Amino acid sequence: MNNRPTTGITCDGFFGTASLVLVVAFSLLSCDQQQEIKAGKAETEVIRPVKLMTVASGDDALNRSLPGRVRAFNRVELAFQVGGTLVQLPVQEGQSVQKGDLLARLDSRDFEVALRNAESRVQRAKALLRLSTVEYERLERVRKADPGAVALSHLDRAMERKEMAHADLLTAEAALDTAKLQLSYTYLKAPFPGIVSSRSVDNFQEVQAKQTIFSMDDFTMVEVVVEVPESLMAPIRNPGTYVVTAEFAPAPGKRYPLTLKEYSIRGDPKTLTYQVTFQMPQPEEKINILPGMTANVVAEPKERSALPIVIPAVAVFSQEGGTPHVWVVKSEDMTVHLREVKTGALTGADGIEIIEGLQRGETIAVSAASQLREGTKVRKFES
């Protein structure tokens, strides 16, 4: 009989306890390794900086004010057709005038004398014509009554004198018309309703023919010139989709509708803008919209859906098959997702219309398109 003392730990119990310790240790090791792997992945995950853009339609872009400047609808330089001494200069710079109003007058005495001389020459020519006509008719009657009483050569010379007298009368009448015209040139009158924008001479000054006396602006209509960004040129070329109005300092709070007159097809390479000219009638209110004044021009769409979405063309790229796509950024986790779109016309130097596939308010990536993949995390690039 074996009477060795017992320790309380059997072999089976020892190995069971050891196994339990190993399992726990391995589990703890596995947890630590998994956490290290996850941490390593987090450290190696790249969040790519890209330029982002919130999609807006062309009508949102147009719904803003643009500075404009007022320009005269028509400007002319006025001058006398003849030279002389100014004796009357009744208008000043900035004065409004009506068509036909007298602006300036030259000393006309020499022209009046020339006119009287021309009138007297006409009267003399008429008298000579009457005399030569009477002489010819008398000889003609005598020859008819007695063919031998008047030689045919005498009758021919009488006819020649009559024709020369008629030619002299025509010359004198032409000279009379010229004298009248020259006299009228001593008066300078307004060719249309407008404003005298500048005066270059003083009264009693000697002036030459064709020398500018006044500059005059036609203000029956007003032109407003605006430098329009290239992104807005597409809707500008289709004026049926929007309404353009202008506000002027002399009438704050009141907007006047403008109509498109013309626009340049070549943009300014420095400002990337295009010059667009609008026009409007001079307001009926007692205000003067003058050249050089500033205008606050606003374009508003007739319908919110009338204008397409416009985005930078670099944001659009082609997948297999040539279909255009963009990267749409999911705001919740800032990951990008591929979206097929339908494109329209190019606008300006770097814009393109999006007909289908995007909604206002969505965010898209406009750079690094070739470097992105489905689900890539991005952040806004801060320039």
Residue-wise pLDDT tens for the chain (383 aa)? 444 444 444 444 444 444 444 344 444 444 444 454 444 444 456 789 999 988 875 555 555 678 999 998 888 999 999 999 999 999 999 898 999 999 999 999 999 999 999 999 999 999 999 999 999 999 999 988 888 888 889 989 999 999 999 999 999 999 999 999 999 999 999 999 889 999 999 999 999 999 999 999 988 889 999 999 876 776 677 677 778 899 999 888 899 999 999 999 888 888 889 999 999 998 887 777 888 999 999 887 776 555 678 888 899 998 877 899 999 999 899 999 999 999 987 775 678 888 899 988 899 999 888 889 999 999 998 76
Q: Which domain holds residue 229?
A: 62-73+215-301
Is 275 contained in some domain?
A: yes
Helices of type H across the chain: 11-44, 58-62, 109-145, 152-184, 233-236
CATH at residue 161: 1.10.287
CATH at residue 54: 2.40.420.20
pTM of the model: 0.56
DSSP secondary structure letter of residue 150: S
Is 12 contained in some domain?
A: no
Asked whether residue 266 falls in the same domain as residue 324, the answer is: no
Terminal-residue alpha carbon distance, the chain? 92
Is 35 contained in some domain?
A: no
User: DSSP of 287-343, one letter per residue?
Assistant: ----TT-EEEEEEEESSTTSS-EEEEGGG-EE-TTS-EEEEEEETTTTEEEEEE-EE
Rounded-to-integer distance, Cα 344 and Cα 353, Å? 5
Torsion angle in degrees (nearest 10) through CA of 245, 249, 252, 256: -20
Is 194 contained in some domain?
A: no
